[in-house]
Amino acid sequence: MKAILKHGYKVLAVLIMLYVIPMAWTGEVSVQVILHETIRNLYWHVVMWFAMILMFGISVYYSASHLAEPSERKDIYALEFANVGMMFGIAGIVTGMIWAQFTWGAPWTNDTKLNGSAASLLIYAAYFILRNSVQDRVKREKTAAVYNIFAFVMLLILVGIMPRLKDSLHPGNGGNPGFGNYDDLKGSMAVVFRPAVLAWILIGIWIANIRIRIKTLQLKKEQW
Amino acid sequence: MIQRIYILLQKDLRLEFRSKTGLSSLLMYALGSVFIIYMSVGEPEQGFIWNALFWITLLYSCVNSVMRAFYYETSSLRLYYYQIAHPQEVIFAKQLYGYVLNTILLAVSFGAFALVLGNFVQNMPLFVLVSLLSTWGIGAMLTLISAISSQTNNAAGILPVLAFPVLLPLFLSAIKAASAAIDGEAFAQQWANIAVLGLFNILAWLFSYLLFPYLWRS
């Protein structure tokens, strides 16, 4: 039973990915003007941001609980989930740039969402720099936890609130129709999109899990 | 609580005006930048160039002013504050101090810009509101970041690294709204930007209230 819980989610992630990858390339999609077949990028680009927010969310949960009750384990969890979140963020930017190249005509535009996501990734990059610049372990963990909470709220504002106040080229903003308006998306695309979100989140947890174990072993070796 | 904040603020301001080196070095910084701009560009032909130069000058002088908030506080001084005041009172006093300093800086640099490079602003009330809100936002945010970076071994080096990504969206809104004010646009079109600037101020205070006590104890 324990083994199923421990490894089951990894098997599930792989199985879902085996279903998602062929479906993403060959499945039925709603072909719109300008977008054409690039709408398939929905299965990659949008999913990355979902996974990123969740990874950063887990990270900030451990940071907050570290402030409430400090422990080295929580600090490692917060760090590694932030690392994986950063990976998803970079992947989200790159897939977005590819998509923008073919729909908007340029990989980077002066768009609220683009600026917001770039700024929030820079804020998280500063989190890693901050960690490295404090020598004392207890002080580092505390400062990093405080900054992580700060960074997460900034992230929510930059990618969640700011784009709603201003126009954006993204679907669903500034008079553009949201993807939810395409009727066929609710059927044939949702059955690929939703499992894809789950699979990437599971993969993120898997990567974080491996990294946490490596980090814990390294720490043990140092303290030996 | 308000009384203690007031006393702490008064102490900071008194120290500043007594030594005079801090404030005068900041003013020197702002005026020097204006002079260099005048020598190299002269009177800019278009409003947006004026705008860009103005915000660059303001950014660097504000960063310089607030950077010093926790820089000169020795650990023994901190221990003393810890005994006489709540952490929130300490950071609020520092933030108000940043507000005062940045308002002076804003007034001086705008005066110098208007005098030397010409005044391009057509909608003055909007410009004043936007620049006040944004310099205050910068001040409040930077005070908190300065508190975080003072925990590190290289406070002066880490502050810009932490500060610039945070200030980036604030500056985007500020520059857009200010350039609208220069072009003489009405208030009504800029509410979104003004709301963002106000949001940054509120956030900075909220973060300080919630998070600073944890930093303070170490």
Residue A147's pLDDT is 92
Give the count of beta carbons closer than 10 Å to the beta carbon of residue B38: 17
B215:A134 CB<8 A = no
B77: nearest Cα among B5, B153, B8: B8
Residue B46's pLDDT is 82
Query: φ and ψ at A27, to 5 degrees?
Result: -65, 170
Residue A15's pLDDT is 92
- B113: tokens are 């810009």
Instruction: Kindly report, residue by residue over B68-98, the tens digit of the pLDDT.
Output: 777 666 777 777 877 888 888 888 888 888 8
Contacts of A161 in chain B (CB under 8 A): 199
Q: pTM for this structure?
A: 0.86
The CATH number of A40-222 is 1.20.120
Q: How far is B102 from B124, CA to CA, in rounded Å?
A: 19
Q: How far is B156 from B149, CA to CA, in rounded Å?
A: 8
A133:B215 CB<8 A = no
Q: What ipTM does the predicted assembly reach?
A: 0.83
- A211: tokens are 């990294």
Chain A contacts in chain B segment 147-166 (CB below 8 A):
148-149, 151-154, 157-158, 161-162, 164-166
Instruction: Kindly report, residue by residue over B3-29, the tens digit of the pLDDT.
Output: 888 888 888 888 777 877 777 888 888
Residue A172's pLDDT is 63
Residue A68, chain B, CB below 8 Å: the answer is: no
Instruction: Kindly report, residue by residue over B184-205, the tens digit of the pLDDT.
Output: 888 777 888 888 889 889 999 9
Residue A26, chain B, CB below 8 Å: the answer is: no
B152:A134 CB<8 A = yes
Residue A178's pLDDT is 63
Q: How far is A215 from A210, CA to CA, in rounded Å?
A: 9
- A138: tokens are 């207890």
Residue B75, chain A, CB below 8 Å: the answer is: no
Residue from B152, B189, B210 to probe the interface with A (highest A Cβ count within 10 Å): B152
A147:B166 CB<8 A = no
Distance from CA of B186 to the nearest CA of A (A): 17
Residue A176's pLDDT is 61
Contacts of B199 in chain A (CB under 8 A): 157, 161
Residue B84's pLDDT is 80
B196:A123 CB<8 A = no
Residue the block writes with tokens 């930093």: B215
B218:A157 CB<8 A = no
Helix-strand-coil percent breakdown of chain A, rounded to 5?
80, 0, 15
Instruction: Kindly report, residue by residue over A124-164, the tens digit of the pLDDT.
Output: 999 999 998 888 888 899 999 999 999 999 898 888 877 77
Give the count of beta carbons closer than 10 Å to the beta carbon of residue A44: 19
B218:A143 CB<8 A = yes
pLDDT, averaged across chain B:
84
- Mean pLDDT computed over B163-167: 87
Binned at pLDDT 50, 70 and 90, residue B132 comes out as: very high
Q: Which amino acid is at B38?
A: Y
B148:A147 CB<8 A = yes
Q: Identify the segments of chain A with pLDDT beneath 50.
A: none
Residue A183's pLDDT is 55
Residue A60, chain B, CB below 8 Å: the answer is: no
Residue A123, chain B, CB below 8 Å: the answer is: yes
Q: Which helix (H) or strand (E) holds A156?
A: helix A137-156
CA distances (Å), B116 to each of A194, A203, B29, B42, B149, in order? 60, 59, 16, 8, 36
Residue A41's pLDDT is 83
By C-alpha distance, the chain B residue nearest A154 is B166
User: SS3 of A146, please?
Assistant: helix
By C-alpha distance, the chain A residue nearest B160 is A126
B55, B179 contact by CB (below 8 A): no
Q: How far is A152 from A91, CA to CA, in rounded Å?
A: 18
Residue B40's pLDDT is 86
Percent of chain B with pLDDT over 90: 6
By C-alpha distance, the chain A residue nearest B208 is A150
Residue A112's pLDDT is 79
